[in-house]
């Protein structure tokens, strides 16, 4: 194996923006994402390090801007693997300073932004830094060219791509803040940036080595997500003529899912490929279990990320479209999204990616998946047990097993059905709020004979009919004279209703008739919830009424979830 040379060297920013480097940002890199918050923090740090003492700049302590990673050979041409956010922001700062310092200093700043032609060395005239292709024209006209910042202030409004908007906003921020700084201090700041701002440049002519360095430097966090790191590793290994096409496909998927959703996709893909509880980071798991076995980065995008990402887009937003059965599938997906964990997503994404054009099959699958996920939530099956169960289901999906068989991992065993009924028969109110609310809303939708009863209430509360602390002279104590008996019934399913407004602690102790008319009924005398409407029909609230209602509601749940 040939020896790969890796160089590490410290440079002042003035030398970095000099003849030894001609920076470009390859198309697979993420856009310029630093906002005014990031740019403002950098300027505050620089001004703080500069101080106001008037001390000679060359005597000041240096300001360390971190490391950047390049692919670079012996010639100046250098592709930025890591560090574009800082280098673009430094370029913006220098351009603003050029506009605000006396004319005798402007040429010195311009030399850090633009390299004149050197025909004897076959070097064309060029800007020191070239951003991503779609931003080149904007960046050159309004940042790097003389007078560009002034034009930016007066002319650029309206819609811009995010990266160009960030460039504009950061430049205007620097203009505003530095315009109020004394001229002598602006000159000192320009000198400080060029002389005393230091960066460590790590470079290698080998692309793979540069990506590995990039990953090692950034695995531990900062502002990079593992989606950014994987993008550099995956697209960087695609032959250069095809990188633009695959970068566009990657970024289109990222845009459709949103940055957070796109990052979560890699965790679900890892779960699909590992089929088990995996220790360590998503990044390591994805590399070892997905990237390395596939080997081919184009195949990884074409056959893994694109189809699974498109399926995740549908599942994540309940966006299934088909001429038959789409509404039922989307409502089941919305119910699943209310589950208190996301472990169900991996099998949902895998199954949808395989059977997208079979709505009847999808409806059966998501109905069974919602039943399984709800049962595990209500039985408090925690991480390891859920992971093992969904791993079995993933293997069954990949093998094409018949999921309707009683032994299928998506089906509940007799013992699991009994355990679910046991959880439903206990103190439902004392369940964790997400599980309790899910159960009651799901039951209410069943009683309303609609998978989607159309609730549009921002506030959901669960209320006891029989209060927890009834007044001594109330009907409650007459109906439930035994405190132990009251404790037996108070938190059970048969004693609970749903309200669409915030609780009123005083109202919870009203007598039954007053509670029904003032507290449970809506503005028109009825409740939007079927569970609560049932109670409005009762004339008294005795142990016998609660017990009857308990059994009726349990039977409804048994029917709904086939328990």
Which residues is 462 bridged to in the sheet? 498
Would you report the helix, strand and coil content of the chain in percent, each value rounded to 5? 60, 10, 30
Q: Is residue 523 part of a domain?
A: yes
Q: Is 230 inside any structural domain?
A: no
Contacts of 493 (CB under 8 A, 6+ apart): 424, 425, 428, 550, 553, 554
| 8 A C-beta contact, residue 6 and residue 209 | yes
Per-residue pLDDT of the chain (563 residues; tens, 9 = 90+): 445 566 678 899 999 998 888 989 887 677 898 999 999 999 988 988 888 777 788 888 888 888 888 877 778 888 888 889 999 999 999 999 999 999 999 999 999 998 887 777 777 788 999 998 889 999 999 999 998 888 887 666 667 888 898 999 999 999 999 999 999 999 999 999 999 999 888 877 665 555 555 555 554 433 456 677 788 778 878 887 888 888 888 888 888 888 788 888 888 888 888 876 556 677 778 888 888 888 888 999 899 899 999 999 999 999 999 998 899 999 999 999 999 889 999 999 999 999 999 999 999 999 999 999 999 999 988 877 888 899 999 999 999 999 999 999 999 999 999 999 999 999 989 888 889 989 999 998 888 876 555 555 456 788 888 888 777 777 777 888 887 888 888 899 988 888 776 555 445 666 776 676 666 655 555 667 777 777 777 788 888 988 998 999 999 999 999 99
The answer to whether residues 317 and 373 belong to one domain is yes
**How many alpha carbons fall within 13 Å on the CB side of residue 42?**
25
Q: Which of 404, 424, 444 is the last residue of a domain?
A: 424
For 379, the domain range is: 240-424
The answer to whether residue 324 is domain-embedded is yes
Place of tokens 């009424």: 545
Do the beta carbons of residue 510 and residue 471 sit within 8 Å?
no
Q: Do 95 and 153 have their domain in common? A: yes
Q: DSSP assignment of 208-244, as one string?
A: HHHHHHHHHHHTT-TT--HHHHHHHHHHTTS-HHHHH
Does one domain contain both 31 and 98? yes
**Boundary (domain end) residue, out of 197, 224, 251:** 224
**3-state DSSP call for residue 464?**
strand
- One domain, residues 420 and 459: no
* Centroid of chain to Cα 307: 19
- Kindly report each contact of residues 325-333 with a partner whose C-beta sits within 8 Å and lies 24 or more positions away, as own/partner: 325/359, 325/360, 325/362, 325/363, 326/359, 327/452, 328/363, 328/451, 329/359, 329/362, 329/363, 329/366, 331/451, 331/452, 332/363, 332/366, 332/367, 332/369, 332/370, 332/451, 333/366
What pTM value is reported for the model?
A: 0.66
- Transcribe 61-115 into DSSP letters: PPEEEEEEEEEE-SSSEEEEEE-HHHHHHHHHHHHHHHHHS-HHHHHHHHHHHEE
Q: Is residue 233 part of a domain?
A: no
Residue whose structure tokens are 């959703």: 261
Q: Is residue 317 part of a domain?
A: yes
Instruction: Please report whether residue 229 resides in a domain.
Output: no
Residues 383 and 272 in one domain: yes
For strands 7-12 and 197-204, give the pairing: antiparallel
C-alpha to C-alpha distance for 355 and 145, rounded to whole angstroms = 54
Check: CB of residue 476 under 8 Å from CB of residue 466: yes
182 shares a domain with 309: no
> Has residue 232 been placed in a domain?
no
For residue 129, what are its two tokens? 């830094």
260 and 204 in a common domain: no
CA dihedral 499, 505, 508, 510 (to 10 degrees): -130
Mark whether 103 and 141 lie in a shared domain.
yes
Cα angle 431-437-438, degrees, rounded to a multiple of 5: 105
255 and 133 in a common domain: no
Q: Which segments of 358-513 are extended strands (E)? A: 461-464, 496-499
**Chosen domain end from 424, 439, 457:** 424
Q: Looking up tokens 């997400």, which residue turns up?
A: 434
Among 131, 124, 96, 89, smallest CA distance to 110 is for: 96
Indicate whether 452 and 417 sit together in one domain.
no
What DSSP string runs through 293-318? HH--HHHIIIIIIHHHHHHHHHHHHT
pLDDT tens per residue across span 169-201: 999 999 999 999 999 999 999 999 999 999 888
Same domain, 398 and 481: no
Residues 308 and 413 reside in one and the same domain:
yes
Q: What domain count does the chain have? A: 3
């Amino acid at each position: 194996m040939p020896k790969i040379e890796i160089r590490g060297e410290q440079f002042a920013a003035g030398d970095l923006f000099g003849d030894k480097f001609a920076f470009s940002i390859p198309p697979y890199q993420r856009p310029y994402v630093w906002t005014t918050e990031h740019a403002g923090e950098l300027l505050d740090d620089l001004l703080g390090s500069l101080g106001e003492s008037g001390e000679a700049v060359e005597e000041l302590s240096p300001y360390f801007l971190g490391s950047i990673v390049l692919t670079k050979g012996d010639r100046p041409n250098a592709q930025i693997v890591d560090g574009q956010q800082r280098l673009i922001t430094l370029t913006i700062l220098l351009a603003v300073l050029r506009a605000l310092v006396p004319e005798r200093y402007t040429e010195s700043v311009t030399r850090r932004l633009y390299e004149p032609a050197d025909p004897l060395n076959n070097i064309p005239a060029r800007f020191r830094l070239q951003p991503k292709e779609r931003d080149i024209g904007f960046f050159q006209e309004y940042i790097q060219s003389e007078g560009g910042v002034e034009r930016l202030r007066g002319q650029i409004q309206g819609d811009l791509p995010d990266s160009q908007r960030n460039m504009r906003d950061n430049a205007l921020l620097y203009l505003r803040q530095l315009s109020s700084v004394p001229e002598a201090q602006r000159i000192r700041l320009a000198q400080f940036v060029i002389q005393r701002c230091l960066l460590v440049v790590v470079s290698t002519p080998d692309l793979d080595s540069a990506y590995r360095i990039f990953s090692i430097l950034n695995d531990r966090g900062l502002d990079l997500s593992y989606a950014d790191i994987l993008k550099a590793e995956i697209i960087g290994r695609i032959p250069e003529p095809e990188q633009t096409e695959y970068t566009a496909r990657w970024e289109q998927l990222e845009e459709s899912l949103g940055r957070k959703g796109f990052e979560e996709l890699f965790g679900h893909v890892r779960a699909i490929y590992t089929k088990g509880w995996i220790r360590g980071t998503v990044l390591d798991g994805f590399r070892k279990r997905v990237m390395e076995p596939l080997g081919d980065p184009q195949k990884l995008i074409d056959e893994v990320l694109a189809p699974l990402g498109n399926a995740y887009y549908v599942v994540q937003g309940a966006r299934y479209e088909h001429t038959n059965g789409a509404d039922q599938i989307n409502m089941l997906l919305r119910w699943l999204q209310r589950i208190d964990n996301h472990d169900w997503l991996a099998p949902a994404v895998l199954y949808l990616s395989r059977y997208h054009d079979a709505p009847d099959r999808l409806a059966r699958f998501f109905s069974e998946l919602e039943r399984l996920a709800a049962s595990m939530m209500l039985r408090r099956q925690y991480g390891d047990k859920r992971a093992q169960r969904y791993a079995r289901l993933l293997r069954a999906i990949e093998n094409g097993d018949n999921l309707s068989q009683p032994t299928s991992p998506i089906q509940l065993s007799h013992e699991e059905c009994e355990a679910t009924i046991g959880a439903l028969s206990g103190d439902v109110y004392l369940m964790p709020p997400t599980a309790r609310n899910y159960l009651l809303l799901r039951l209410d939708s069943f009683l309303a004979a609609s998978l989607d009863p159309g609730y549009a209430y921002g506030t959901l509360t669960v209320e006891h009919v029989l209060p927890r602390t009834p007044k001594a002279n109330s009907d409650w104590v007459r109906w439930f004279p035994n405190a132990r008996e009251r404790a037996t019934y108070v938190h059970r399913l048969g004693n609970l209703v749903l309200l669409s407004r915030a609780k009123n602690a005083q109202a919870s102790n009203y007598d039954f008739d007053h509670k029904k008319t003032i507290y449970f009924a809506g503005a028109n005398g009825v409740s939007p919830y079927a569970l609560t409407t049932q109670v409005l029909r009762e004339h008294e609230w005795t142990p016998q009424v609660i017990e009857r209602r308990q059994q009726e509601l349990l039977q409804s749940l048994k029917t709904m979830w086939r328990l």
